[in-house]
Structure formats: C-alpha cells, structure tokens
Chains A and B, each alone.
Chain A
Amino acid sequence: MSLEAYAIYKNYGEVEALHNVDLVTERGEFFTLLGPSGCGKTTLLRIIAGLELPDSGTVMLTGGNVTTLPANERNVNTVFQSYALFPHLTLFENVAFGMRSRRLTGSVVTEKVMAALAMVHMEDKKDRLPSQLSGGQKQRVALARALVNEPEVLLLDEPMSALDAKLRHAVQAELRQLQQKLGKTFILVTHDQEEALTVSDRIAVMRQGRVVQCAPARELYERPVNRYVADFLGKANIIAGRRAEGGVETELGLLRLDSPPTWEQGELAIRPENIVFHPERPAVNGLRARVSEAFYRGDRVEVWLEPGNLRMSAAPRRGIAKGDEIWIELLPSALVPLHE
C-alpha cells in the first residue's frame, strides 16, 4: 500500500468539500478520482499533496502518518493543472528545481535531469524557457519535473484539460505507458470519464464530497452501483421495475438478469451497446420495438426506440432506419440492478 487516507473531512465555511472519505491505493497502481467540478476531488488531491490540511482524518504514505507534514517534506510530487513551470528558469533548471531545493549539485543532478527530459522526449529543448513551449510540451516538462524526484506517489491534477482533444488522446496513452514502465503509483484527478477509463486501474467516482463507488475501471462501467455512476460514465438506459419470479417485472415485460436485485422495487440499467439487434424473436428478454429516431455517427448508429424510450447503439451495416420495427434483446448479463 503506497497511499492511504482514512475518514477525511474538510469544510470550507458552510460547504462540505469532503465527507468521510477513505482511499487506499496499491503500490504501482494508476488510481483516478473522477467527478464533476466541485465534487471534492481536487481538495482530496491537495490534502494528499500536503497543500491543504484536512479538518480531520489521517493520510498515510508507505505506512507512515503524513497528515500534518507540509508539502515540501512529503515524498509526493504534483503535476499541476496549469503546469506551474517557473517562467524565468530554463527547462533544465525547472526539472532540476526539486533536487536543487534538496541541495544536490554536480553530475548527479545533470544526469537525472537529462534522463527525465529524455523520458518525455524533451532533452533537445533543455535550454528553452517555458514561454517557448506548446501546451503539450509544457505538460511533458511538468511531468518530468515531478518524476525526477522519484516520488512514492505522483499526483496529477487535471493535467490534460488544457490540451486539445486529439493531443489529449495521444497523451493519455503515453501517460498510461509511462506509468506501466515506471511501476509507480499515479493518482489522477479528472472530470473526463473517457480519460479515466483509458488510463486507470481503479477509479473512485465522487459526488458532493463523498466517494460513490470505487472499483476497477471495467467493473465501474459495467456494474455501476447507482444511477449517478451509470449516468456519469457513458450513457445508460434506466428501467424502473419490481422484483418478480425469475427476473424483474417492467413496463417492457419480464426481464431476466444474471444478478438478481436485492430490492423489491427499483431500477435497472443497461448500456446502449448491450441492447442488440435480432433478425427474429430472441429466446430471452426479447422486445418488438419501433425506431423513433436513428442518428448516423460514423462508427455506430444511435437508435431511439419505443416503447420505453430506449437508446441503442447499432452497427451501421445493419441499416436500421427511422420507422423500422425490429426485434431487440436486452442482454441478461448486462442488466444491472441499481441502488439508492
């Protein structure tokens, strides 16, 4: 276990920023705090970094209590949202900053800085000033500046929010590869669900200062615990129903599912890609539906269905068009009972 936080509370006046948050990361794990702005994810990151004190709770780093240890004495480094490179220092000096703070000099510094710059492919620009770099390059330098200190945990505060979409995708892949290569614990804060799914081993979804669900990326997407998580990560059809013999009784009829609900009355969720087209009536969870709208999206067709106002994602080659009557199956393995 590299970083643990237990029972963290933090209030700003009347606003409850964090309410009884627990967080345990494994060594070498890529962990993501995901949520909308104002959910407390950045506050939690700042508490881990030592830039903010929790009202109560404990932060542990490799088994030692660091709750009240200031940022400059914690073996944790941060990549800031604005990158916060020192504008008057060259890239080399920016990356060397942490080691110079620790009064290291000579060839050790040079070697480590050059290795860190090489890691992010910026070694040939070591004498430039931050103002001469593009956003993506600044982000790489910020990464090198943090990693060169060999922190126990690397914290990333929305590091890709300033990049354009295409570059962001490339950087996500690079970041994931880098983390795998170094085997370090990364904690990322983001509001971008796609980014979270791409890079993370585990994700904690937050809302109003609380962790709603903390699970591996795939589990989070496929088995959301409630409507909030189901909606926040991708799209979901929500179907209300009542538990019955062999499944759940809904307005679409009796639906079978692999994991029966624990509630008497509640909601089921199913992802659009788990509603599948059938040429004839399927054996289970079959439904005759009318296409009310069909939007061509290039890689898929987004289909709106009646009854139930369902959203389905179909392959374009099916040629589904508005007004068609089709057979669909709601896959029993992908129907998830929601809680709350």
Chain B
Amino acid sequence: MSSQHHLVWNGELTTRLRLIRRGMYLAAPGMLWILLFLALPSVLLIVVSMTTRGDYGQIEWVFSLDNFTRLMGYSSYGWSADYLWILFRSVWVAFWTTLVCVLLAYPLCFHIANRAPEKRYFWLTLIIIPFWTNLVIRAYAWLLVLAPQLPLAKFAAVLGIIPDGSPLYPSAFAVYLGMVATFLPFVAMPLYANVEKLDWALVEAAKDLYAGPARIFWHAIWPQTVPGLSVGITLTFIPAMGMFVVPDLLGGAKYMLVGNLIQQQFGTSRDWPFGAAVSLALMVLTLVGLHIHRTKGGEGGVA
C-alpha cells in the first residue's frame, strides 16, 4: 500500500518504490565493481585457503584448517618457527624500510623545496624517473652496483665485511638498499606536496619564541607534514610487507619474505591452498597495520 503512496521528492511527484528502484540503478555499477573485484576474490581466497593440495598440485575440495596450523609451524615433524619467522621478518623489513625512507625523505623534500621554483622540476624528475622504471630492471641494476668488481663491494672487502672478490648480495643489506630505493618516491612525493606549501610563519614564530632546532621541527614542521607523511607511510609499509621482486633478487634464499613464500606456493610448489592461507595472513597483517596507523595517526589531527 505504501508503495502506491505518492510523495514529492526534489520537486518531482513520485512513489517510494520508484525512488528505491532508481537508487538501486545508481548504486549498481559500484556494487558490481566491489562484488567482482573485492568480495568474490576474498571469498575465493578464504575458501581455497581451507582446501587441501592434491598429490599432483590440484585443489581437492576437502575442507580443514590444516593450512593455518602449518603456517603456525605445526607439521608431522613437530613445531618449527620458519613460517612465523618469515611473517615477522616481513613486518620487520617493512617497518625499517618505511622508517629509513621517512628519515631520508625529510632532508630530500626540504632540499627540493628550497631550490628556485624552475629548478624544483629537475629534482622532482630525478625522483620520478626510477619510479617510472620497471622494478625488475631496477633490482638488476642494484646487482650490478653491488657486483664484486665495483667500488662498493671492494670497499666492503677492504673493511673485512665480506671476503675479497665476492659481491654484496645476497644479503639483508642488499634487500634494505633495494627496498628503500624502491619506496623512497612513495614517501618523498606526498611529503613534498606538504613541504612545498609549508607555512613558514609557524617556523618563524617558533624561532621568535626561543625554540631550538628540535622544538622548531616538532611544533612547526612535523604537524604540517603529518598528512603527507601518513599517505607516504601507508603507500610504503603495506606494499613493502608483500614485496617479492627485491628480496628474491637481492636477498636470495637467505632473506625470504612473505611475498616470496606466496609466490613459491603458487609457483614452484604448486600448493595453492597453502599459498591462499599465507596470502590471507598477509591481508590480516595489512589490515591490522592500517588500523593501527588510522588510530595512532589520528593524534596528529589527520583523519
């Protein structure tokens, strides 16, 4: 009965039913998008993560939580921390990568912002060019830079860090180097957007009120750069946790991260169910990370 009831909406005579139908038409494309690219894959991932690997690498629809207990380190041989260690190491590497990127991005952004306006584009281009270059090519480039014949490796050999004639990879150092180089633009560019339009009157006010360099940074610069920094941290920390090209090429088997583990399961190991379980774990870690960032980031006055 109520659907037959006429009503005026934005100057138009219509019925409730017609309005609802129109609303659904308008929302449909977005809903379809979310359904197709978010809801469906997520459900599939969860379902697959609870299936079992068949003898020839096929998925057998036998449901259990075995993949998750395996990820926790339990197997027929007893308990091992290997997978948990990989997960922890991924978070650890992502954390340090982000921190180093942030520490490098500040001086970099202020350096660029202090150039004459026409020269800033030159410096920004220098940041953006590697960003446009294929990640695999960049990782191989680092292999060349760290090769035994080149000064970096030779210098390390002189210091006795590595034996003479060997390269600087695969190593944790090489992974960090590659990671920081990869993600620096992601922190530097949003941060630069803030630094460029920084209100310098606040810096001068802090100086005028007897503040030293640390106090000037903390009260006049930091609060103004939190929005850009927040974007940069999100853009770095989350993908850094799942990164596999850089650790694969520069870290080898010595420095496996969760991204490599997932790649291995879907690739050489042909164990899709376990791969899905690891992927799910990474997704949970990502969401937890985002949640912490959201709640902690709120203190700086950023939504």
Interface segment, one of A75-83, A113-121, A309-317: A75-83
Range for the number of chain B residues in contact with chain A: 10 to 19
Q: Are B201 and A82 in contact (CB under 8 A)?
A: yes
Q: Are B205 and A88 in contact (CB under 8 A)?
A: no
Range for the number of chain A residues in contact with chain B: 20 to 34
Q: Are A86 and B208 in contact (CB under 8 A)?
A: no
B105 contacts chain A at the CB level, 8 A cutoff: no
Residue of A84, A97, A102 most packed against chain B (CB within 10 A): A84
Q: Are B199 and A84 in contact (CB under 8 A)?
A: yes
Q: Which residues of A contact B219 (CB under 8 A)?
A: 86, 88-89, 97
Q: Which residues of B contact A50 (CB under 8 A)?
A: 207-208
Q: Quick one: CB contact mask for B225-248 with A, threshold 8 Å, 1 for yes?
A: 000000000000000000000000
Those of A57-106 within 8 Å (CB) of chain B: 70-73, 76-78, 80-82, 84-89, 97-98, 101-102
A149 contacts chain B at the CB level, 8 A cutoff: yes
Q: Which residues of B contact A145 (CB under 8 A)?
A: 209
The answer to whether A84 and B215 touch (CB under 8 A), given A51-B207, A70-B207, A102-B210, is no
- Chain B's closest residue to A148 (CB) is B209
B46 contacts chain A at the CB level, 8 A cutoff: no
Q: Which residues of B contact A70 (CB under 8 A)?
A: 207
Q: Are A86 and B207 in contact (CB under 8 A)?
A: no
B223 contacts chain A at the CB level, 8 A cutoff: yes
Q: Are A80 and B204 in contact (CB under 8 A)?
A: yes
Q: Which of B201, B210, B212, B223 contacts A84 (CB 8 A)?
A: B201
Q: Are B204 and A86 in contact (CB under 8 A)?
A: no
User: Would you call the interface of chain B mostly helix, strand, loop, or mixed?
Assistant: helix
B87 contacts chain A at the CB level, 8 A cutoff: no
Q: Which of A76, A84, A149 contacts B202 (CB 8 A)?
A: A84
Q: Which of A71, A85, A87, A97 contacts B204 (CB 8 A)?
A: A71
B256 contacts chain A at the CB level, 8 A cutoff: no
Q: Which residues of B contact A98 (CB under 8 A)?
A: 209-210
Q: Are A101 and B205 in contact (CB under 8 A)?
A: no
Q: Quick one: CB contact mask for B176-214 with A, threshold 8 Å, 1 for yes?
A: 000000000000000000000001011011111111100
Those of A19-61 within 8 Å (CB) of chain B: 49-51
B301 contacts chain A at the CB level, 8 A cutoff: yes
B220 contacts chain A at the CB level, 8 A cutoff: yes
Q: What separation, in Å, do the CA atoms of A15 and B223 have in the docked complex? A: 35
Q: Are A80 and B201 in contact (CB under 8 A)?
A: yes
- Chain A's closest residue to B209 (CB) is A98
Q: Which residues of B contact A86 (CB under 8 A)?
A: 202, 205-206, 219-220, 223
B208 CB, nearest partner CB in chain A, Å? 5
A100 CB, nearest partner CB in chain B, Å? 8
Q: Are A97 and B206 in contact (CB under 8 A)?
A: yes
Q: Which residues of A contact B215 (CB under 8 A)?
A: 101
Q: Which residues of B contact A72 (CB under 8 A)?
A: 207-212
Q: Are A101 and B201 in contact (CB under 8 A)?
A: no
Tally inter-chain residue pairs, CB-CB below 8 A. Answer: 65
Those of B265-303 within 8 Å (CB) of chain A: 300-301
A109 CB, nearest partner CB in chain B, Å? 13
Q: What separation, in Å, do the CA atoms of A145 and B208 have in the docked complex? A: 11
Q: Which residues of A contact B220 (CB under 8 A)?
A: 86
Q: Which of B199, B201, B202, B207 contacts A71 (CB 8 A)?
A: B207
Q: Which of A78, A81, A88, A89 contacts B208 (CB 8 A)?
A: A78
Q: What separation, in Å, do the CA atoms of A34 and B219 have in the docked complex? A: 33
- Chain B's closest residue to A100 (CB) is B215
Q: Which of B211, B300, B301 contacts A97 (CB 8 A)?
A: B211
A113 CB, nearest partner CB in chain B, Å? 13
- Chain A's closest residue to B223 (CB) is A88
The answer to whether A101 and B223 touch (CB under 8 A), given A78-B205, A84-B205, is no
Q: Which residues of B contact A76 (CB under 8 A)?
A: 208
Q: Which residues of A contact B210 (CB under 8 A)?
A: 72-73, 98, 101-102, 149
Q: Which residues of B contact A88 (CB under 8 A)?
A: 219, 223, 300-301
Residue of A70, A76, A98 most packed against chain B (CB within 10 A): A98
A8 CB, nearest partner CB in chain B, Å? 19
Q: Which residues of A contact B207 (CB under 8 A)?
A: 50-51, 70-72
Q: Are B223 and A87 in contact (CB under 8 A)?
A: yes
Q: Are B211 and A80 in contact (CB under 8 A)?
A: no
Q: Which residues of A contact B300 (CB under 8 A)?
A: 88
Q: Which residues of B contact A71 (CB under 8 A)?
A: 204, 207-208
Q: What separation, in Å, do the CA atoms of A71 and B207 have in the docked complex? A: 6
Q: Are B205 and A80 in contact (CB under 8 A)?
A: yes
- Chain A's closest residue to B204 (CB) is A51
A285 CB, nearest partner CB in chain B, Å? 52
The answer to whether A77 and B208 touch (CB under 8 A), given A86-B219, A97-B219, is yes
- Chain B's closest residue to A75 (CB) is B210
Q: Are A82 and B199 in contact (CB under 8 A)?
A: yes
- Chain A's closest residue to B301 (CB) is A88
A3 CB, nearest partner CB in chain B, Å? 15
The 4 closest A-B pairs by CB, nearest first: A84-B205, A98-B209, A101-B210, A84-B201
User: B-side interface residues toward A, CB under 8 Å?
Assistant: 199, 201-202, 204-212, 215, 219-220, 223, 300-301
Contacts A72-B209, A149-B210 aside, 13 further interface pairs with beta carbons under 8 A come to A51-B207, A72-B212, A76-B208, A77-B209, A82-B199, A86-B206, A86-B219, A87-B223, A97-B209, A101-B206, A101-B211, A145-B209, A149-B209
Could you pull out 29 A-B pairs where Cβ atoms are within 8 angstroms? A71-B204, A72-B207, A72-B209, A72-B210, A72-B211, A73-B210, A77-B208, A78-B208, A80-B201, A81-B201, A84-B199, A84-B201, A84-B205, A86-B202, A86-B205, A86-B220, A88-B219, A88-B300, A88-B301, A89-B219, A97-B209, A97-B211, A101-B206, A101-B211, A101-B212, A101-B215, A102-B210, A149-B209, A149-B210
